[in-house]
Structure 1
Amino acid sequence: MDKFTRKTSFEQWVLPISTTQMEKLIESYQLNYYTKKLYITSFLRLLLFAQLNETESLRALSDTLFSDDLQKATNLASISFSQLGRRLNQVPTEFFQQIFLNLVAQIHTKSNFEQRRKTTTPLKIIDSSTLPLNLNNHQWAEFRKTKSGVKLHLRLVYLENGYSYPDKAVLTNAKEHDRGQLEVLVDEKECMYVFDRGYLDYERFDCMTDDGFFFVSRLRKNAVIRVLEPFELPTDSIVSSDEMIVIGTTQNRAENLFRLIKVLDTKGKELHLITNRFDISADEIAELYKSRWAIELFFKWMKQHLNIKKFYGQSEQAVHNQVYIAMIVYCLNVIAQLNTNSNRTYLQISRWLKASPWKLAHIWIQKIEGKAIP
């Protein structure tokens, strides 16, 4: 990262959003046609700033443009909250989704994803989280008599140093079952997929195995199984049993053979894990499943430190746009961490940026790198 840039910290932070790609997307979706003031680049920067500072409403965001520095960064002297609301409802979600995917591609490159997959099997974790909405304002998202909500179905790339990142997302109504998204989120071979028992689907497990996809999931304890062969365990194993099984009833049975591993969690509760991998040890399978906790931490981080608790708009498109903006912010923090080769947490990076958005970028960078600031 260029330490001698004259850019501000905020400008350096948003730099990975490709100008070339933005121009192509703007032209493709005709986003600036008939626009007199609120051009999409300015709008995107405002939304990123709002996420960074957890700005609670579009009215509050409009008021923040009183700042000369923010005016300079967005090329806007002022804008009404009603104009911001109309723009949020008009921009197609695919625009923000493409920016998110482009940032993911950059993270893949910077974290040597393709190089790592030549020597090890990348681990991808799948799960979902419900984002509650106000029923009166979001009746299109009703999933219970008194509740509304959207569900974020996510796939997270797990990195051993703990700095994981999302690489695919699907937004649905909260009443959508997790199982229906498994086919969408499992699309790349030579990876190991980890997911919880909400995704149990014997037919899909057969298809994944036949197509060469590896997985480990949690099995319900009342599942019908038949043990074909027990495997011997080392004396120091954390696993209580390791068996080759057939799963399902006569009417609904998987065609392939699977492996059932039983292990105790930290609370002493026995977990039943199912996998189609027979080439690694039972202890390694158990450790892979433990990695699933990373996606729980990701959802917790998003809900605590990004602005997806209160939504700016009432339409489905406005809500989806705000969720993608939040994930773009997360990816920008990941890239900042990778660019500085730092062990700083994303929360530290975000806090220091929030404290110095208009200072010269090298000051923020040196803080992330842990170097003394002159």
Structure 2
Amino acid sequence: MFGLMTETVHTLTQRSSDQNLSGGSCQSATTASEFYSLLDEVDSEFIAEQFDIGTYTNKHDFENHLKVGVFEGINPSDSLAELAEKTATHDQLEEMAASTFSRRTNDRDYRAVVRLFFELLHSPQLYHQRSVQRKRLEWLDRAVVALDGTNLALTRSVAVPSELHDSEVIDEIKPGDRGLKFNFAARVDGHAKQPLGVSVTAGETREPTQFDHLQGDVEVFADLDSPIRVFDRGYLDYDRFCALKEREEDFVCLLQSDSRVDVLERIQDIDITDEAGTRHVRDDLIELAETSETFRRIVFEDVDGEEIAYLTTLSPEKYDPVDVMNIYTLRTLIEILFRELKQYTNIENFHSQSVNGVLFELFCTLIGYVLVEWFRHCHPLRGGVPEAVRLIRTRWNKSLPVYG
């Protein structure tokens, strides 16, 4: 049902921004203008023209429509009427009636927002930000990319149109159904996390089907020439593991306890003892099932005898077992990203009742999240994303506080 949607999102990621962006200043009058400063560097009007937005109207106001959608993403309203009232009083926004926002969100091609989202991710400012974050993780000299998926539970019914005739409704996603599946690739370095790729599919879609799409999103980033991929058991696929190894693409994932392996060589045994007790680590070279391929398996046994097994292609000469486990632990940052989106944005509470409208709002929200992270980069705040969102909401029309 959503195959075309996923293909479109994937295809749009296969180019990086070629806009001549300047070095985004962090100096401006209000919190609102600071928040939008990076968005202002992307040529939204050029993108609107590519998708024929405004071709047949005197004023298409795509930039304002986008800013309103992003604002709603990180400062959700209970109704479109409430949102319309906010557009009349909040800095950086031009007044927009509820009916206008609803009509244009449902009618305008959501792929324009997808394109802008990925142009933003490929902006020189975010390349620089990723470089700074990478250097802060002193013990690891390579980027780590996490892949994961989560279900978005919708609060209202969404009509699914025919791919041939937009006016023909062939299905309906209702509240209580599995909603949408949000598949994500993110760079996770230390305490930092940043989106790299997204696909949106039907709620019952299994994560492994989106692996190659997300891989394609990641590969177009010029600063990710040799990332280490981390993913959980949901992506378990022996053929994929073999293909990654053949392409010399390193990964770390959890291995199921009942997986069939032949131990070829014991690399090392380690005991880790502290006040909590003694943990045991086994580091083996194994053959995985009948693949005839060798991998490295690390088994961590806690003080209660419970075991966690990791499968990896990382060399034991460069990465000891504790390094491998720490690299996998960085995957938890993508779970934090999902939790922040669900708790501090409207990622599950869209106003639209069409697939196009929902996707338009969803990608506006993702843009908002990226801008929040950029805002934190310009203005370091205690409290992370929650504090940044609170500050943006409460001081929108005011200047930023000065911290001594």
* CA gap 1:20/1:179 in 2 versus in 1, 3 angstroms: closer
- Residue correspondence of structure 1 range 290-309 to structure 2 within 5 A: 290-309=329-348
Q: Deviations over 1:215-247 (max 9, x none)?
A: 011111121111111111344385521111111
Larger displacement relative to structure 2 (40-49 or 91-100): 91-100
**Cα displacement (A) at 1:354:** 0.9
Does the CA-based 8 Å contact 1:192-1:215 persist in structure 2? yes
Contact 1:17-1:99 at 8 Å conserved across structures? no
1:30 aligned onto 2:52: yes
How many aligned residue pairs are there? 354
Q: For structure 2, list consecutive stretches of 5 or more residues without a partner in the other structure.
A: 1-23, 161-169, 220-224, 274-278
Aligned mate of 2:74, from 20, 44, 52: 52
Distance in 2 between residues matched to 1:100 and 1:10, nearest whole Å = 19
Query: Which residues of 2 match residues 151-190 of structure 1 at below 5 A?
Result: 151-160=181-190, 162-187=191-216, 188=219, 189-190=225-226
One-letter identity of the residue aligned with 1:111: R
The residue correspondences of 1:112-127 to structure 2 (distance < 5 A) are: 112=131, 120-127=141-148
Deviations for 1:13-64, whole angstroms, at most 9, x for unmatched residues? 1121145521210111121223355611111111122123221332321233
Structure 1 SS opposite 2:396: coil
1:260: which partner in 2?
297
Q: Deviations over 1:297-340 (max 9, x none)?
A: 11111100001221111211222222211111111111112223
| Partner residue of 2:177 out of 137, 144, 147 | 147
Opposite residue 390 of structure 2, the aligned amino acid is R
CA distance in 2: counterparts of 1:185 and 1:266, whole angstroms: 37
Q: Is the 8 A contact 2:299 2:307 kept in 1?
A: yes
Q: Aligned in 2, Cα 1:266/1:155: closer, same or farther, shift over 3 Å?
A: farther
Give the TM-score normalised by the residue count of structure 1.
0.85
Mapped to 2, the partners of 1:147 and 1:197 lie a distance apart of 24
Deviation of 1:115 after TM superposition, in Å, equals: 7.6
Aligned mates of 1:126, 1:298 — CA distance in 2: 12
| 2:137 is the alignment partner of 1:108 | no
> 2: CA distance between counterparts of 1:270 and 1:97?
42
How far apart in 1 are the matches of 2:173 and 2:300?
Answer: 35
The alignment partner of 1:314 has SS state of: coil
| Alpha-carbon distance between aligned partners in 1 of 2:210 and 2:245, rounded to the nearest angstrom | 17
Partner of 1:216: 252
Q: Say whether the 8 Å CA contact 1:141–1:173 is kept in structure 2.
A: no
Q: Deviations over 1:171-198 (max 9, x none)?
A: 1111111111112222435100000011
Alpha-carbon distance between aligned partners in 1 of 2:99 and 2:266, rounded to the nearest angstrom: 66
Equivalent residue for 2:16? none
- The reply to whether residue 315 of structure 1 matches residue 336 of structure 2 is no
Q: Does structure 1 residue 132 correspond to structure 2 residue 153? A: yes
8 Å contact from structure 2 (residues 283, 297) kept in 1: yes
- TM-score, scaled relative to structure 2: 0.79
- Taking structure 1 as reference, are residues 272 and 138 closer, same or farther at Cα in structure 2, changes over 3 Å only? farther
Q: Deviations over 1:229-266 (max 9, x none)?
A: 11113443855211111112xxxx32421111112479
Compared CA separation, residues 321 and 354, structure 1 to 2 (3 A): same
Who is 2:398 aligned against? 359
Could you say which residue in structure 2 is the equivalent of 1:227?
263
> Which of 242, 250, 275 pairs up with 2:312?
275
User: Residues 56 and 307 of structure 1 are in contact (CA less than 8 Å); yes or no, is this contact kept in structure 2?
Assistant: no
CA 1:236 to 1:65, structure 2 compared with 1: closer, same or farther past 3 Å? closer
Identity of aligned residues (%): 21
SS across alignment from 2:77: coil
Select between 20-29 and 142-151 the one with higher mean Cα deviation: 142-151
State how far apart, in whole Å, the 1-side matches of 2:94 and 2:175 are: 45
What does residue 99 of structure 1 align with?
Answer: 116
8 Å CA contact 1:206, 1:255 repeated in 2: no
Higher mean C-alpha deviation, range 140-149 or range 267-276: 140-149
CA RMSD in angstroms, aligned pairs only: 2.9
Structure 1 unpaired stretches of 5+:
none
Alignment check: 8 A CA contact 1:111 1:338 kept: no
